[in-house]
Amino acid sequence: MSCAEPRLVLLGRQGAGKGTQSNRLADHFGVMHVSTGDMFRTQAAQGTAFGLEAKRYMDAGDLVPDEIVVGVIEESMVPGGPLGGGFVLDGFPRTLHQARELDRVIAGFPLHLVIDLDVPREIVFDRIAGRRVCENCQRVYHVNLPPTHNWACDTCSGRVRQRDDDTEEAVERRLELYERETVPIVEYYRERGLLTLVDGVGEGDEVFERLVKVCLEQFS
């Protein structure tokens, strides 16, 4: 691979498997996984003022306002961190404005690839209904594939539970916002020659292999 520190963005509907797959990709390529959703959940669990504010939007299925999200990205995208070392960005950008802001924030460290992880709407509903997440490390499970012991996370022993924003109404709202706010970004990246579509339907391992393959094709 000629690209030692890949800088990737993963787009995809809620429940497409972005969180799980971007974590695995980051591990695989030895770069940082940067997830705005995880950052907000961690802050909310710690009860910081900032986290609690973000949680109000999240639980309603709304987007957290751009100023807040862009601020968080600006703080984490530093040359000594993900900027210089490479990253898989998960959950950001989510609006056209955020995509433009990202270009500004990472100026000098352009993206190598944007992957649209494609899973049809009908399928993501089922996945989200069964989704369970570790409160502590955010590892994602499913009711059909729970942790080994009594809903304690296999990685960190944290409590594995349903996310507060995985209610039916909030999910409906997030999917609607995805079509309206996030789909236009796909076009933005396609015009820049950065976009690749990957089929997100199938077993996790199978999808992961597809993802690694498109990355290697792009980087070598």
Tell me the catalytic residues: 18, 94, 131, 163, 174
Q: Which is nearer to ligand ADP, 59 or 219 (CB)?
A: 59
Q: Which is nearer to ligand ADP, 31 or 117 (CB)?
A: 117
Identify the CA nearest to 212 among candidates 36, 14, 30.
30
Q: Which of 77, 88, 153, 175 binds Zn ion (CB under 5 A)?
A: 153
User: Does residue 55 bind ligand ADP (CB under 6 A)?
Assistant: no
Q: Which residue is nearest to ligand ADP (CB)?
A: 37
CB of 66 to ligand ADP, least distance (A): 7
Q: What are 9's strand-pairing partners?
A: 89, 114
CB of 142 to ligand ADP, least distance (A): 14
Which of Zn ion, ligand ADP, none binds 189 (CB below 5-8 Å, type-dependent)? none
User: Does residue 57 bind ligand ADP (CB under 6 A)?
Assistant: yes
The b/e string for 169-207 (b: 16+ C-beta within 10 A; e otherwise) is: ebbebbbebbeebbeebbebbeeeebbbebebeeeeeeb
- Residues with Cβ within 8 Å of 59's Cβ and at least 6 positions away in sequence, in order, are 164, 165, 170
Instruction: Report the site for ligand ADP in 78-107 (rule: CB under 6 A).
Output: 91-92, 94, 98
CB of 185 to Zn ion, least distance (A): 30
Alpha helix stretches (DSSP H) within the chain: 18-29, 36-46, 49-60, 66-76, 84-85, 96-105, 121-129, 168-177, 183-191, 204-219
